Structure 1
């Protein structure tokens, strides 16, 4: 993953969408925050017929369960926010 993607991920994690409120710290007083338990669902398009192979790669490299869509060529998997840079 490129440095630009990692930087964008860090910026999104610190983003405050409500301009009237103070940003919320992700880590307070050395205690791990709830953000470490947040997950996002990623949808990926893969060549038709390679859904099983792609799902296996996700399981192997990201240690994440993967759902294969009924639509051909699409897989979905959940990943923890702090693992997005992987």
Structure 2
């Protein structure tokens, strides 16, 4: 199974989804789920250990805002968008 997670930030200074999403993705990758996290770059991202099933992609906030038009082309089984408190 391939899962795409989209989240605005995984910065250490934030709580909630910025911490829970990476932890969830790490555990899913350990179980063999192919995970891709798309987020914007931050000065202090949550540490994510290397795993062949987990890919971290950094995009600009502008690219994240226009990502929706490309989601139909994504070769994934599930898209999980974290969008709480984002402008």
TM-score by length of 1: 0.27
The structure richer in helix per residue is: 1
TM-score by length of 2: 0.26
Q: Specify which structure has the bigger relative contact order, considering alpha-carbon pairs within 8 angstroms and separated by 6 or more residues.
A: 2
